[in-house]
Amino acid sequence: MFNRSIERTVQTTDGARIAYRTLGEGPRTVLFMHGWGGSGAEALWNLVLQHLSVENVRLVLVDLRGHGRSEHVQSGFTTERFAEDMFDIADQLGAAELILVAYSMSGRWAQWMSQARPERVIGQLLLAPAPAAALPLTEEMLDDWLRRTGARETFDNWVGQFTKTQLEPDTLANYFAAVQSNPEHTLRETFRMCSQPGFSEKLTATRAATVVVAGMNDPMLTPDYLRNEVVRKIPGARLALLDCGHEIPFEKPLETAAIVETFIAPLVL
């Protein structure tokens, strides 16, 4: 369906260059935000998009600050700044309202966007999202992640600890290439962002329709944890479960696409 991808960049209000691509045209803008080490250009979203059939929408796939084709800046690694980057993209596209599809760490930025600018976010689909609360992440864990994702021979086992079943070789190769395209500074600072002081008490301001998708076998962000730390703190939020681990878009791309279609359908009428 989406045969034409348009590559774009925006200069943010603090001067950074953010890369993104758009697919399709329509009155509603659906913004996809990737997880730790990813980008908008790698195979994470492509696996989902090949199963996606939607009309009257414009899809936006962003390379977050410091990632992929975006400028590899040294500053601005805060939840508030990442959110502003996304609104800068929306402003460039003339999108007064957004539907967010956010995976893993980006679930935290999405929750901030939705409560900070409730008039601009009409829906958020959160896939295995990092919570608004601070995660108990340590520097030792960060060093281990960087060591294991830095070499091809250890990368597959690192990913495997978060999945129910082994991913396809091509998927793993593309995932590794995406992580390698990001500077160590970016990987370190985005990891640390998820352990920054939380804002759970602000989530009551959220007006966006919200669905949280949890992997039933996610060892890091379990369904019970997401129910307590995300779903119950956002007005009207609902929980959906998939039989997989944490890497939902990789493990269940067909099912993820179906959930995306079902979620955005009433929001694009």
Structure confidence at residue 42 (pLDDT) = 55
CA distance 210 to 188: 29
Structure confidence at residue 147 (pLDDT) = 97
| pLDDT (average), residues 138-164 | 96
Structure confidence at residue 3 (pLDDT) = 61
Structure confidence at residue 269 (pLDDT) = 72
Confidence of residue 4 (pLDDT cuts 50, 70, 90): confident
CA distance 92 to 179: 27
Structure confidence at residue 1 (pLDDT) = 56
| pLDDT (average), residues 181-185 | 95
Structure confidence at residue 5 (pLDDT) = 83
Confidence of residue 22 (pLDDT cuts 50, 70, 90): very high
Structure confidence at residue 60 (pLDDT) = 96
* Tens-digit pLDDT profile for residues 30-52: 999 999 999 886 567 889 999 99
* Tens-digit pLDDT profile for residues 215-262: 999 999 999 999 999 999 999 999 999 999 999 999 999 999 999 999
| pLDDT (average), residues 151-174 | 95
Which of 146, 124, 163, 144 lies closest to 252 in space, CA to CA?
163
Structure confidence at residue 98 (pLDDT) = 98
More confident residue, 212 or 38: 212
Structure confidence at residue 28 (pLDDT) = 95
* Tens-digit pLDDT profile for residues 69-120: 999 999 999 999 999 999 999 999 999 999 999 999 999 999 999 999 999 9
CB 114 within 8 A of CB 81: no
CA distance 238 to 245: 19
Tell me the CA distances in angstroms from 147 to 2, 158, 177, 192, one per residue in order: 37, 10, 15, 16
More confident residue, 64 or 45: 64
Chain-wide mean pLDDT for the chain? 95
The count of domains in the chain is: 1
| pLDDT (average), residues 182-193 | 97
Structure confidence at residue 2 (pLDDT) = 60
* CATH code, domain with 84: 3.40.50.1820
Full domain range(s) for residue 214: 5-267
